[in-house]
Structure 1
Amino acid sequence: MLDNFRSYAPERASRLTLLVEQSLPLLDQENGMEAVQHLLRSQGASVIDSVIVTRELLGGSPSSLNEAKSIVLLSAARTRELRIHHQLAEKFEQA
Structure 2
Amino acid sequence: MFEAKRIARLKWACRRGMLELDVLFLPFVEQAFDELSEHQQLTFERLLTCDDPDLFAWFMGHKPCQDPELSEMVQLVLSRVKLSVN
TM bin (shorter chain): 0.3 to 0.5
Select the structure that is richer in helix: 1
Greater Rg over alpha carbons, structure: 1
TM-score by length of 2: 0.39
Q: Which has the higher contact order (CA 8 A, sep 6+)?
A: 2
TM-score normalised per structure 1: 0.37
